[in-house]
Amino acid sequence: MVDLFPLEDFDDWAATYDQTVSGNQQFPFAGYEAVLEKAVWLADVQPGLCVLDLGTGTGNLALRFAERGCELWCTDFSPAMLAKARLKLPQAILVQADLRGTWPVELERRFDRIISAYTFHHFESSAKVHLIQQMIAKRLVPGGWLVIADIAFPTPMAMEAVRNSVGEEWEEEYYWITSEIVPLLDQAGLKSEYSQVSSCGGVFKIWPEQGNL
């Protein structure tokens, strides 16, 4: 089976990733900084909260939580990306791990918030929901929630409009389509709120149905 997202590609990208996304107003990173800021706002953290960042990359989202006094645990499957993150997050616990594989023992604990940016579009919808379920059941404290920022569209029609506008620059990946993923989350007993931030970027806040938010 061909790996659509080989590790080597992300290691190679690490050196230029921040230049790629910073100030970018083109697909797929249009509104990148605004998307991350919306994620921070939805996380609603206080100093001292324990935060897990899934697919931390070079640490751009995690850094915003470090600046707010949170204790950070970060995971990514790319050692080159984590090396870049280490420069920004000297106090964070960084763990190399693939979310598709075995959960690392260093992260065998629960967190007040679980966050992620521009990672989940590498997973099909069923895998997205399964991973979120696992995170809530095994890694989230009661009353906590997930915040996921990613390439996302409210409807298939909205995605098609962006696809047509970018032409050959379009990359076919497993982008979030809110009108399709929310019913799947509902079926899994998960509540969600969605905010569209840019033409191709949005943020989900997700919590268990029995949670008190």
Position 7 scores a pLDDT of 83
Q: Which of 18-27, 128-137, 202-211 has the highest mean pLDDT?
A: 128-137
Torsion 150-201-81-65 (CA) sign: negative
On the CB side of 169, CA atoms within 13 Å amount to 8
CA-based radius of gyration for the chain = 16
Torsion angle of alpha carbons 31, 152, 136, 49, nearest 10°?
10
The DSSP line for 91-135 is: TSEEEE--TTSPPPGGG-S-EEEEEEES-GGGS-HHHHHHHHHHH
Going 82 to 127 to 22 to 15, the CA torsion angle's sign is positive
Q: Smallest Cα–Cα separation from 59: which of 28, 91, 27, 34?
A: 91
Nearest to 39 by CA among 207, 212, 205, 209: 205
Instruction: Quote the pTM value.
Output: 0.95
**CA pair distance 157, 53, nearest whole angstrom:** 31
**Biggest distance spanned by C-alpha atoms of the chain:** 45
Considering only CA atoms, which of 177, 179, 153 is closest in space to residue 166?
Answer: 153
Bridge-based pairing of strands 140-153 and 71-76 is unpaired
pLDDT digits (tens, 9 = 90+) for 10-55: 889 899 999 999 888 899 999 999 999 999 999 999 999 999 999 9
pLDDT at 4 over 70: no
DSSP SS3 for 145: strand
Domains and CATH numbers, the chain: 34-208 (3.40.50.150)
Distance CA 139, CA 52 (A): 9
Give pLDDT, residue 211.
59
Which tokens is 55 given? 């697919």
Mean pLDDT score of the chain, rounded to an integer? Answer: 94
Output phi, psi for 5, to 5 deg: -130, 70
